[in-house]
């Protein structure tokens, strides 16, 4: 076949330009030709080559939902024509769905208001909408209509965090709590040595011990739910400083109602836009609740590690599922890796809370100026806790087994059991029996029989570990009969 010549062939073979020229109020600059963003996004890319950390997926989703909902509300208020509103809505929902995440390149450490990220969304949506329709869509005049970065970014933080809590963390915590409760029920007949100060104490059942873990998580769920109404109150409608300049007075309330219908989350408009723009107290409050959950999970993870320790030189009460080799040099070693990962996640969440606290305190007059950092760390904490809670449930709690013979042997030698006889023999006599049993490594029952004169049947009633887990005062039976 003969080679084609002419202008068309020359155009097809010519190298495509790597950049295109874009402009904003500060002038022109070069933007990568394939990029959907415009000049303001490019300035932020150039200005903030700091961490390589981009804004989270959940935050970009929230930006898309804001722009789609705002377009619908502006159309309903007869401020935006139907063709542009439809183009913006459809494009923004595609952004929310994650189809264009690669076109959100701005670093977390950017302008404190998050203006760069808001304009990133405006520019990407405007360009896509303009390409899809036969009319020009402007990033500021149309996509950002009735909005300011100063109310969009606080709103995005609240939306993203609320959705992540409803969709990820709350279900994960409920799953973990239920898993613990089921595991406890299956171990109800097994009594073990209790421990206070890491030292032997009165006995309790495994289901009783695990019920404490489950209640910690149920309380954590309740704490999060109690803070949700304030997180679900949105700044949208306050625009630049809280006065609502350039937004219809009906915009905020209609926006919240439309978004609630779209997401099935009970979003409301803020009762005070000045508070919502100038502070991030609701995010700080929620971070504090996440920190409390992290504290609870740390306790649970550490209890599992202690109970699993050994198997010969530690407590050796349980065996966690063996998931991977534990050492590159010691064959056969298996470690409690899920519990360790949980503890690390919790350390990160507690650190994030400290960061969010400082960032939340960084509001000056009408605006907080660490919004992107709050967004990043709050969403990271939610995601980490959700993921590790499911792992802890499915790969640690559900599958651990109790070393029953070892647990029962240890319990039989626990000299603290003599506490149950205090009412009959007195504290000092009990202390002497406990010390002798510990020193001689003998069952406390044998020593008590020798030193008290109580018959074996009475002592067995007094010192029965399973009975002692029910609380109250043990029935001494015929304790006064001697023998």
**pLDDT tens, residue by residue, 327-346:** 888 899 999 999 999 999 99
Lowest mean pLDDT among 156-160, 305-309, 466-470: 466-470
Question: Quick one: tokens of 66?
Answer: 């804001």
Maximum Cα interatomic distance, the chain, rounded to a whole number of Å: 119
pLDDT band for 483, please (50, 70, 90 cuts): very low
Question: Pseudo-torsion of CA 244, 248, 252, 254, nearest 10°?
Answer: 180
Residue with tokens 């915009």: 251
Taken in order 192, 196, 202, 207, is the CA torsion positive or negative?
negative
pLDDT band for 1, please (50, 70, 90 cuts): very low
What pLDDT does residue 14 have?
Answer: 67
Active site residue 327: yes
pLDDT at 102 over 80: yes
**pLDDT tens, residue by residue, 278-326:** 999 999 999 999 999 999 999 999 999 999 999 999 999 999 999 999 9
Question: How many angstroms separate the CA atoms of 194 and 414, rounded?
Answer: 10
**pLDDT tens, residue by residue, 195-249:** 999 999 999 999 999 999 999 999 999 999 999 999 999 999 999 999 999 999 9
pLDDT band for 441, please (50, 70, 90 cuts): confident
Active site residue 166: no
User: Residue 407's closest CA among 310, 306, 315?
Assistant: 315
User: What average pLDDT is seen over the chain?
Assistant: 94
CB 33 within 8 A of CB 20: yes
CB atoms within 10 A of CB 301: 23
What mean pLDDT is predicted for residues 42-70? 98
- Catalytic residue among 21, 51, 226, 327, which? 327
Residue with tokens 């407590």: 315
Task: Examine residue 312 and say whether the peptide bond preceding it is cis (omega within 30 degrees of 0).
Answer: no
User: Residue 375's closest CA among 82, 36, 22, 104?
Assistant: 104
- Catalytic residue among 13, 25, 197, 328, which? 197
CA atoms within 13 A on the CB side of 283: 42
pTM for the whole thing? Answer: 0.93
pLDDT band for 388, please (50, 70, 90 cuts): very high
What mean pLDDT is predicted for residues 39-44? 98
């Amino acid at each position: 076949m003969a080679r084609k010549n002419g202008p068309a062939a020359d155009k097809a073979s010519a190298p495509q330009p790597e950049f295109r020229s874009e402009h904003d109020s500060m002038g022109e600059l070069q933007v990568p030709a394939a990029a959907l963003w415009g000049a303001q996004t490019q300035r932020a890319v150039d200005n903030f080559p700091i961490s390589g950390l981009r804004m989270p997926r959940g935050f970009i989703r929230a930006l898309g939902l804001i722009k789609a909902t705002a377009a619908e509300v502006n159309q309903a208020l007869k401020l935006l024509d139907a063709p542009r509103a439809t183009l913006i809505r459809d494009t923004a929902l595609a952004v929310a769905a994650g189809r264009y995440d690669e076109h959100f390149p701005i670093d977390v450490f950017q302008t404190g208001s998050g203006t760069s990220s808001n304009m990133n969304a405006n520019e990407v949506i405007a360009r896509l909408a303009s390409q899809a329709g036969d009319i020009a869509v402007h990033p500021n005049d149309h996509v950002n209509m009735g909005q300011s970065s100063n109310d969009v970014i606080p709103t995005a933080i609240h939306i993203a965090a609320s959705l992540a809590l409803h969709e990820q963390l709350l279900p994960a915590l409920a799953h973990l709590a239920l898993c613990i409760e089921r595991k406890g029920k299956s171990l109800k007949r097994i009594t073990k040595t209790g421990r206070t100060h890491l030292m032997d104490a009165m006995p309790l059942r495994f289901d009783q011990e695990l019920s404490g873990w489950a209640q910690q998580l149920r309380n954590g769920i309740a704490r999060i739910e109690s803070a949700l109404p304030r997180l679900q109150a949105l700044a949208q409608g306050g625009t630049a400083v809280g006065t609502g300049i350039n937004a219809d007075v009906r915009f905020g309330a209609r926006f919240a109602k439309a978004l609630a219908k779209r997401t099935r989350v009970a979003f409301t408009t803020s009762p005070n836009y000045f508070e919502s723009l100038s502070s991030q107290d609701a995010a700080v409050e929620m971070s504090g609740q996440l920190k409390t959950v992290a504290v609870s999970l740390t306790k649970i993870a550490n209890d599992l590690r202690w109970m699993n320790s050994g198997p010969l030189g530690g407590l050796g009460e349980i065996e966690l599922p063996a998931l991977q080799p534990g050492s590159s040099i010691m064959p056969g070693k298996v470690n409690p890796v899920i519990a360790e990962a949980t503890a690390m996640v919790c350390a990160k969440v507690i650190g994030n809370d400290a960061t969010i606290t400082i960032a939340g305190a960084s509001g000056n007059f009408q605006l907080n100026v660490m919004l992107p950092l709050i967004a990043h760390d709050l969403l990271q904490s939610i995601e980490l806790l959700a993921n590790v809670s499911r792992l802890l449930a499915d790969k640690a709690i559900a599958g651990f087994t109790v070393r029953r013979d070892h647990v029962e042997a240890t319990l039989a030698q626990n000299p603290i059991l003599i506490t149950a006889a205090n009412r009959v023999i007195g504290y000092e006599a009990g202390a002497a029996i406990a010390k002798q049993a510990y020193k001689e490594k003998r069952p406390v029952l044998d020593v008590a029989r020798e030193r008290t004169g109580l018959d074996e049947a009475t002592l067995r009633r007094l010192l029965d570990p399973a009975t002692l887990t029910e609380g109250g005062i043990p029935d001494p039976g015929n304790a006064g009969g001697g023998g």
